[in-house]
Structure formats: structure tokens, C-alpha cells
């Protein structure tokens, strides 16, 4: 495909938010892979101190994190922290302190500022995905948005009450920092009326459901081997879903300011 | 008044929102550690935190060092740095007592001072103070330090209770007429010392009777006492020394060891210069309540005096007892000028930078106002 898909030369920079463990990282890496398959230049920036965003794009390998290098005191260049994974995807991991020590939020801020200073890879991409950790617990976790790096935010949820509750909270947070939402993605957990519940939720906050990803064992099987579904099982049904989602994300932006639901309404929705 | 918590967590509607910067709880903790005679105080935080006061405290003979947390420390924590520094200071300074003080940074990221102390395990007691600069009243820093000192058996329960009561009173004094009394207090240099000196000399020459009240906070007494001395010298020069009575909070049996020592030094100096303190109104740490003692004494004995020269914490002396007098007050807080004028003090003088000059000394230090008085009196 052409090298010049990115016509305005401005990358689409997105972040996927959602409750911890709901599937942000696996969705991000599969979307990244699907876009790369389409010929887009893609970058993924893992902001979780666990540094698990890019593993499945790197054949199960871990890369040195920005914060590890900053901590060791060496001079850092782009080559030290930007690694090429599946189909040319640029992978970066922010890293962070061990759980329960220091300040991961501050870590994200420091790392993304460092990255901006030493690397221009982001600007040469068509799609940059910030894979942020679960809940927005402090300012550091919204730094990619606040610092003006992210242009589109998505929220990932299942039809279960708690993930929806988290998603709703995230929407509240987004409107607080005046950031629109570009769409709701459902990562199914096979609860009853799941599609309907999440679709309704998306509508009522003022956004729309842009993908319904089924729960499939194959996602975890591929992950265990260190791969995305796109790489290991490109012919699977779910690979097709990721492709469609990638397409939706790369097409025109449907960003709108959303309004979080009242707790009571949210409860009704899931009943 | 509504319930107001002093911990900075709760702010009721009645609390005003003060916008001028004011003393830090971290610094208050450092000074309290000094009064507890620690040899080394470790700041667990960024290298620049409390710099100016850390430097001043060295004049007072204590070592102040910092773990110097940098951006890495903010992100990854500074446990190892604190352990290493505890070990290092034990070797370098051979301390008998160590203080460890938190800062905003280390407290926000949840550093456990105690874990580091356990790991370093120095063979001397350590006072750990989990403090940051975000408390509404800086007295919180003192209180946290004293609590920790109590826990480690360095002060008695009695002394703790006494100090706690004094701190509560100090906070109230500041709220009533001090730096916490208004949303914003512009700093001021106060009245011209030369003019005020002339006025005092004039009053003495007219045969007016005056009271000097030194109500000083701890070591600041080394300089405020000089004003008492100067007024008495001039009264003597003019042959009216019997027109002056002196009050001072220099009881050397009260307070932490270092504070008692200051009281003793000042007392001895005053004696050596032939100054009689007619009424000892309390310990050097009792400035929040000694003003009331002075007020009572005036009501009883000196109600008909003509003027009063009040130094140190003049706003702690109740107006009721002195409203009939011409009041000249001397403070070291430029933001204290306005409230004092509002209280009705006719002249307010600021001894700029008084505090630094009273650190590391054990004799009375000449004040600018004292020097001015002496100079002006030469022409008499
Ligand atoms: N559609 C799916 N079907 C099956 N398993 C999934 C699906 N999406 C995610 N998972 C699995 O859920 C787990 C948590 O996903 P992960 O992406 O790490 O969540 P997050 O990044 O939101 O914390 C992973 O083991 C992942 O493989
Ligand atoms: S913000 Fe807090 S930690 Fe930082 S320098 Fe100021 S007082 Fe110290
Ligand atoms: Mg994740």
C-alpha cells in the first residue's frame, strides 16, 4: 500500500480507556496489528507500569522501558526505547515503579515528555495508540490527553455492571477535562443482552457503539504464545472484527462531548 | 465558631482562604527537632525543600541534610536513598539523636519513613515526622514532631500536653490578630525607627511612666530583650528609671531543654546589665499565653501607666488591659504591622531579619531599634 496514507501528515493519536482487565491492551495490540496489515504506520505507547502493551506484538518479548532507562541515568536516544514489532509497528513501553512504591502517575508524565523530546517517530505515523492503565486514579494517567498528545479517546467496556460503571466514570472524567469521546467499544464477557446494554449505554451518554468484540478463547491462546490474533490467527472470525474496528477508527472521527449517566440510570440499564 | 480541624483536611465555610504564603509545617518540624536537641535532621524530599531554614538551622549547630529526591525518586520512591543517608549521617556526625522529616513529595508518593529507619537501624533514637507543607497552620508540624518524640520516649506526656495546649493557643492568636487573621496581609516595614525612638525619649522626658513587655518566641528573645535593655538605659540616662517596669517571658524552668537554656542566657545577660525584670510572665515558649499574664498584671498593678513598649508577639497581649496607654510595638513579621495597627497600637516597628541573627547565639544581640534609641539619646 502507499506510504502516504497519512495525507495531512497528522497522526491519529488515540487512547483506549476502560476498567482494568477489561481488554484494553489486547484490543489495542490487535487494532494496531490490523492497521499495520492495512499498510498504516502504527505506533503503540504502553503507559501501564506493568509494561504489557506490546508483548504480543514482539513475539512475547519484553523491551526496556523509558523509565528503567531514565532511572539508570543513561542518555537515552530513540533507538533505546522505540522497538519495531509485528509488521513494522513501533513499540514503546513507559514502564514504572513496582506496585505500591513511588508514583506511577508522575512516571507517565516524565516518560511521555522524555519520549517527545528524543523521538519524532510519532509524527511519522498514521496511528498512535496510547495504551493507558485501568482506572484514571490521578492526574498522571490522563497526562497523554492533558498534555495535548491524544486527540481521540475511546472507552472499552463489557455489558457487566462494574466495567460499565468504570466506563461511565471515565466519561465523567473526560468531560471534566473537556475531552470528547470518539466511541464505545464492547469487549464481550458473554452476559445476557450484552450488545443491547452497551449500545444503549453508548447512546445515552451521547456516543455510539463502534464495535462488538466477542469473547473468544483464541485471543488468550494467541496471547499465551506471545502473539496478537492478527498475527497468529488472521483467518479467525475475531480477526475480522478487529479489522472492522481498525477501519472504524481510521475512518472519520466521530468525537462528541459525552455526558455520564446518573448512577441510578446505569443500574437500570444493566437490570 | 464552627468545628475547625487544624489538619488542613477540612475547611469549614467560616475559614477564610489566606493567599499570602506563610510558614511551612516542614520548617516548623525542623525547628522543633532542633528544640529537642537532635544532632541531625534528614529531610526526605527534593534538594531545594526548606533550603533557607535548613541553612539557618546549621547556625544553631544542627546538621540538616536531604535525601535529594529527584524526578527518579518521585517516580520510583526514595526508600533506598533514605536508608543510605541514615547510614551515612550516623558515620559522619556520630549523632545521639536523629530526626527524619517528610516533605510533600515523599508524603504524596506514600514513602514509609519507618521502614527505612528499621532497615538502617541506627543505634540511636530516631524521631520520625510524617509531615508535608500542606497544612493550614504550621503549628501542625510542631505537633506532629512532638507526637513522634512522645512515642519514642524523648519527651514526657506532661510536656507534650503542655506544648499541645500552647500550640492550640498559638494558632488562635494568629487567627485573631496575626498572620492568619486576614485573607491577605500586605507586608510593611512599619513606622520609622528614628521617629519612634524620639517619641519614647519624649515620653520619658515628660516623666511619663511606661511598661516594657517582652513576649518573645523562643530564641527571638535574644534580640527583643535588647529593646528592653535600651529603654531602661535611656530612662536611666534621663534619671527616670523608676518610671519603667519590665515584664518578660524568661522563666528558665519551663519548656524543652534548649528553650530553657535560652531563657537562662537572656536572664543572666539582663541581670549583668542591671536590668530588673519586675514580672516574669512565663517561659519562652509561652508567648501565646504570656500576653494574658501580662494583661492581668497590668489590670492589677499598672493600669494607670502611660505607655507600653511591647516586643516579640505583641498581638498576644489583650487590648483590654492596655487600651488606655500609648502603645509602641516591635515585631519581626512584616505582615504583622497591619493587624497591630488595627488593634490600636500607635507605633509598630519591624525588626527585619531578626530571626537569623538570633540563631546560634547565647547572648543578647543588638536590635536595630535598640541601636536607634541609643543613638538618638546621645543628643539629649
Ligand atoms: N475478546 C476477548 N476474548 C477473550 N479474552 C480476551 C478478550 N479481550 C481480552 N481478553 C483477555 O483478557 C485479559 C485481560 O486483557 P488486557 O488486554 O490485559 O486488559 P487491560 O489491558 O484492559 O487490563 C487478557 O488475558 C486478554 O487476553
Ligand atoms: S512543595 Fe513541599 S516538598 Fe516541594 S519544596 Fe515545597 S515544601 Fe518542599
Ligand atoms: Mg493493559
Partners of residue B75 in chain A, C-beta under 8 Å = 67, 70-71, 96-97, 102-104, 106-107, 110
Q: Are A117 and A88 in contact (CB under 8 A)?
A: no
Closest atom of ligand 2 to B24 CA is 7
**pLDDT at residue A4 tops 60:** no
Asked if A70 and B77 come within 8 Å (Cβ–Cβ), the reply is: no
Q: Phi and psi (nearest 5°) for A140?
A: -60, -35
Q: B216: which 3 cell numbers?
A: 518573645
pLDDT value at residue A151: 86
* Structural domain B193-379, CATH architecture: 3-Layer(aba) Sandwich (3.40)
Q: Are B97 and B61 in contact (CB under 8 A)?
A: no
Query: What is the least distance, in Å, from the CA of B44 to any CA of chain A?
Result: 13
Q: A48: which 3 cell numbers?
A: 501501564
Closest atom of ligand 2 to B132 CA is 2
- Beta bridge partner(s), residue B350: B331
**pLDDT at residue B124 tops 70:** yes
What is the arithmetic mean of pLDDT over B301-306?
Answer: 97
* Among protein residues, the one whose CA lies closest to atom 8 of ligand 2: B49
- Beta bridge partner(s), residue B136: none
Q: Which of B167, B172, B120, B169 is nearest to B146 (CA)?
A: B167
Counting ligands in written order, the one closest to the CA of A211 is 1
Greater model confidence, B312 or A139? B312
Query: What is the least distance, in Å, from the CA of A179 to any CA of chain B?
Result: 26
pLDDT value at residue A270: 87
Residue of A106, A108, A113, A114 to mutate, testing the B interface (most B Cβ within 10 Å of its Cβ) = A106
**pLDDT at residue B155 tops 60:** yes
In chain A, DSSP finds a helix count (H) and a strand count (E) of 11, 8
The pLDDT tens digits of the residues spanning A116-151 come to 999 999 999 999 999 988 777 788 888 888 888 888
**pLDDT at residue A204 tops 70:** yes
How many residues would you count in chain B?
380
Q: Are A95 and A110 in contact (CB under 8 A)?
A: no
Q: Which of B284, B281, B347, B349 is nearest to B317 (CA)?
A: B281
The ranges assigned to domains in chain B are: 25-177, 193-379
pLDDT value at residue B237: 97
What 8-state DSSP symbol labels residue B97? S
A107 touches chain B (CB under 8 A): yes
| Sheet strands (E) in B161-221 | 210-215
Q: Which of A118, A74, A72, A73 is nearest to A92 (CA)?
A: A118
**pLDDT at residue B335 tops 60:** yes
Q: B359: which 3 cell numbers?
A: 540563631
- Tell me the CA–centroid distance for residue A46 and ligand 3, in Å: 8
Q: How confident is the model at residue B301 (pLDDT cuts 50, 70, 90)?
A: very high
Task: Give the SS3 label for residue B73.
Answer: helix
**pLDDT at residue B9 tops 70:** no
pLDDT value at residue B7: 46
The pLDDT tens digits of the residues spanning B201-220 come to 999 999 999 999 999 999 99
Q: How confident is the model at residue B309 (pLDDT cuts 50, 70, 90)?
A: very high
What is the arithmetic mean of pLDDT over B301-313?
Answer: 97
Q: Could you tell me the fold of the domain covering B25-177?
A: Rossmann fold (3.40.50)
**pLDDT at residue B184 tops 50:** yes
Please classify residue B238 by burial: count the beta carbons closer than 10 Å to its beta carbon, then call 0-12 exposed, 13-18 middle and 19+ buried. middle
Q: Are A113 and A127 in contact (CB under 8 A)?
A: no
Domains B25-177 and B193-379 share a fold: yes
ipTM, two decimals = 0.77
Greater model confidence, B12 or A41? A41
- Provide long-range contacts, Cβ within 8 A and 24+ apart, for B275-279: B275/B228, B275/B229, B275/B232, B275/B246, B276/B246, B277/B246, B277/B247, B277/B248, B277/B250, B278/B245, B278/B246, B278/B247, B279/B245, B279/B246, B279/B247, B279/B248
Q: 3-state DSSP: chain A helix, strand, coil percent, rounded to 5?
A: 45, 15, 40
**pLDDT at residue A221 tops 70:** yes
Q: Are A168 and A205 in contact (CB under 8 A)?
A: yes
Quote the CA–CA distance of A142 and A129 in Å, as a whole number. Answer: 14
Quote the CA–CA distance of B217 and B76 in Å, as a whole number. Answer: 40
Asked if B72 and A70 come within 8 Å (Cβ–Cβ), the reply is: yes
| Sheet strands (E) in chain A | 12-17, 42-46, 83-84, 90-93, 127-131, 152-157, 181-187, 209-213
The ligand 1 site (C-beta within 6 Å) comprises A 18, 20-26, 134, 187, 213, 215-216, 219-220, 223
- Tell me the CA–centroid distance for residue A75 and ligand 1, in Å: 35
pLDDT value at residue B218: 97
Amino acid at each position: 500500500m502507499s506510504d502516504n496514507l497519512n495525507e495531512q501528515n497528522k497522526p491519529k493519536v488515540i487512547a483506549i480507556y476502560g476498567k482494568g482487565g477489561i481488554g484494553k491492551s489486547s484490543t489495542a495490540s490487535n487494532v494496531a496489528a490490523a492497521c499495520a496489515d492495512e499498510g498504516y504506520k502504527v505506533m503503540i505507547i504502553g503507559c501501564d507500569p506493568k509494561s504489557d502493551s506490546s508483548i504480543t506484538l514482539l513475539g512475547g518479548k519484553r523491551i526496556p522501558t523509558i523509565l528503567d532507562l531514565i532511572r539508570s541515568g543513561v542518555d537515552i536516544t530513540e533507538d533505546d526505547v522505540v522497538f519495531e514489532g509485528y509488521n513494522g509497528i513501533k513499540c514503546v513501553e513507559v514502564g514504572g515503579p513496582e506496585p505500591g512504591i513511588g508514583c506511577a502517575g508522575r512516571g507517565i508524565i516524565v516518560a511521555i515528555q522524555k519520549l517527545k523530546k528524543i523521538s519524532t517517530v510519532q509524527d511519522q505515523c498514521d496511528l498512535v495508540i496510547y495504551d493507558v492503565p485501568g482506572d484514571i486514579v490521578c492526574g498522571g494517567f490522563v497526562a497523554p490527553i492533558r498534555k495535548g498528545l491524544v486527540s481521540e479517546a475511546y472507552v472499552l467496556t463489557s455489558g457487566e455492571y462494574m466495567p460499565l460503571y468504570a466506563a461511565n466514570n471515565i466519561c465523567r472524567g473526560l468531560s471534566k477535562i473537556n475531552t470528547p469521546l470518539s466511541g464505545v467499544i464492547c469487549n464481550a464477557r458473554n452476559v445476557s443482552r450484552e450488545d443491547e446494554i452497551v449500545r444503549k449505554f453508548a447512546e445515552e451518554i451521547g456516543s455510539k457503539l463502534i464495535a462488538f468484540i466477542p469473547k473468544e478463547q483464541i485471543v488468550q491462546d494467541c496471547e499465551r504464545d506471545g502473539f496478537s490474533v492478527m498475527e497468529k490467527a488472521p483467518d479467525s472470525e475475531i480477526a475480522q472484527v478487529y479489522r472492522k474496528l481498525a477501519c472504524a477508527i481510521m475512518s472519520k472521527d466521530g468525537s462528541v462531548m459525552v455526558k455520564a449517566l446518573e448512577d441510578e440510570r446505569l443500574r437500570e440499564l444493566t437490570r | 465558631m464552627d468545628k475547625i480541624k487544624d489538619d488542613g483536611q477540612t475547611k469549614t465555610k467560616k475559614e477564610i482562604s489566606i493567599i499570602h504564603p506563610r510558614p511551612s509545617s516542614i520548617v516548623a518540624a525542623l525547628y522543633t527537632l532542633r528544640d529537642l536537641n537532635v544532632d541531625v535532621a534528614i529531610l526526605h524530599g527534593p534538594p531545594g525543600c526548606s533550603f533557607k531554614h535548613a541553612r539557618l538551622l546549621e547556625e544553631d549547630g544542627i546538621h540538616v541534610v536531604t535525601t535529594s529526591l529527584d524526578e527518579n525518586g518521585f517516580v520510583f520512591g526514595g526508600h533506598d536513598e533514605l536508608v543510605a543517608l541514615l547510614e551515612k549521617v550516623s558515620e559522619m556526625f556520630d549523632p545521639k539523636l536523629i530526626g527524619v522529616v517528610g516533605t510533600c513529595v515523599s508524603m504524596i508518593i506514600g514513602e514509609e519513613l519507618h521502614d527505612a529507619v528499621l532497615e538502617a537501624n541506627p543505634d540511636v533514637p530516631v524521631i520520625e515526622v510524617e509531615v508535608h507543607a500542606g497544612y493550614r497552620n504550621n503549628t501542625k508540624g510542631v505537633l506532629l514532631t512532638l507526637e513522634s518524640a512522645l512515642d519514642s520516649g524523648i519527651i514526657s506526656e506532661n510536656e507534650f500536653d503542655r506544648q499541645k495546649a500552647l500550640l492550640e493557643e498559638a494558632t488562635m492568636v494568629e487567627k485573631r490578630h496575626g498572620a492568619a487573621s486576614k485573607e491577605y496581609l500586605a507586608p510593611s516595614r512599619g513606622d520609622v525607627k528614628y521617629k519612634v525612638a524620639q517619641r519614647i525619649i519624649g515620653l520619658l522626658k515628660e516623666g511619663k511612666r511606661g511598661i516594657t513587655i517582652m513576649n518573645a518566641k523562643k530564641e527571638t528573645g535574644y534580640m527583643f530583650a535588647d529593646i528592653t535593655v535600651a529603654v531602661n538605659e535611656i530612662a536611666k540616662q534621663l534619671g527616670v528609671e523608676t518610671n519603667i517596669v519590665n515584664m518578660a517571658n524568661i522563666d528558665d524552668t519551663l519548656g524543652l531543654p534548649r528553650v530553657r537554656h535560652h531563657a537562662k542566657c537572656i536572664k543572666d545577660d539582663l541581670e549583668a546589665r542591671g536590668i530588673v525584670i519586675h514580672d516574669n510572665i512565663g517561659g519562652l515558649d509561652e508567648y501565646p499565653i504570656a500576653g494574658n499574664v501580662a494583661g492581668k498584671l497590668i489590670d492589677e498593678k499598672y493600669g494607670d501607666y502611660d505607655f507600653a513598649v511591647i516586643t516579640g508577639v505583641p498581638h498576644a497581649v489583650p487590648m483590654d488591659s492596655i487600651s488606655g496607654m500609648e502603645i509602641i510595638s516591635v515585631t519581626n513579621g512584616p505582615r504583622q504591622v497591619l493587624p497591630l495597627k488595627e488593634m490600636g497600637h500607635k507605633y509598630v516597628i519591624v525588626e527585619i531579619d531578626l530571626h537569623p541573627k538570633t540563631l546560634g547565639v547565647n547572648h543578647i544581640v543588638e536590635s536595630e531599634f535598640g541601636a536607634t534609641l541609643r543613638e538618638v539619646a546621645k543628643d539629649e
